[in-house]
Chain A
Amino acid sequence: MSAQLTQSSGHAIIERRGFQQLLDALRSQGYRVVGPTIRDGAIVYDELHAESDLPIGWTDQQEAGFYRLKKRDDRALFGYAVGPHSWKKFLLPPELRLWQARRGENGVEFVETRTEPVRLAFLGVRSCELHAIAIQDRVLMQGKYVDPSYAMRREGAFIVAINCAQAGSTCFCVSMNTGPKADRGFDLALTEVLDADRHYFVVEAGTESGQKVLQTVTHRVAAEDELACAEAIAAETAKHMGRQLDTAGIKDLFYRNYENRRWDDVAKRCLTCANCTMVCPTCFCTTVEDTTDLSGENAERWRKWDSCFTLDFSYIHGGSVRSSAKSRYRQWITHKLATWLDQFGTSGCVGCGRCITWCPVGIDITEEARAIRDSERS
Chain B
Amino acid sequence: METLEGILSEHPFFSGLEERYLKLAVGCASNVRFDAGEFIFREGEEANHFYLIREGKVALEIFAPSRGSLTIQTLEDGEILGWSWLIPPYQWRFDARAVETTRAIALDGRCLRAKCEEDHDLGYELLKRFASILGHRLDATRFQLLDIYGVAI
State the A residues within 8 Å of B (CB): 316-319
Contact = CB atoms under 8 A, between A and B. Distances in A.
Interface string B6-49: 00000000000000000000000000000000000000000000
B77 to A, nearest CB: 36
Please give me the 3 A-B residue pairs with the lowest Cβ-Cβ distance, nearest first: A318-B151, A318-B153, A318-B152
A316 B151 CA distance: 11
Contacts, number: 7
Contacts of A316: 153
Per DSSP, are chain B's interface residues mostly helix, strand or loop, or mixed?
loop
A318 B149 CA distance: 11
A266 B30 CA distance: 66
Interface residues of B, number: 3
6 contacts: A317-B151, A317-B152, A318-B151, A318-B152, A318-B153, A319-B153
Contacts of B151: 317-318
A316 B153 CA distance: 8
Nearest to B152: A318
Nearest to B153: A318
Contacts of B152: 317-318
A25 to B, nearest CB: 59
Interface string B139-153: 000000000000111
Nearest to A316: B153
Nearest to B151: A318
A319 to B, nearest CB: 7
Nearest to A321: B153
A319 B151 CA distance: 9
Contacts of A319: 153
A318 B152 CA distance: 7
A319 B152 CA distance: 9
A157 B153 CA distance: 44
B113 to A, nearest CB: 46
A60 to B, nearest CB: 46
B98 to A, nearest CB: 39
A374 B76 CA distance: 55
A319 B153 CA distance: 8
Contacts of B153: 316, 318-319
Contacts of A318: 151-153
Nearest to A317: B152
A318 B151 CA distance: 6
A318 B147 CA distance: 13
A55 to B, nearest CB: 51
A317 B151 CA distance: 8
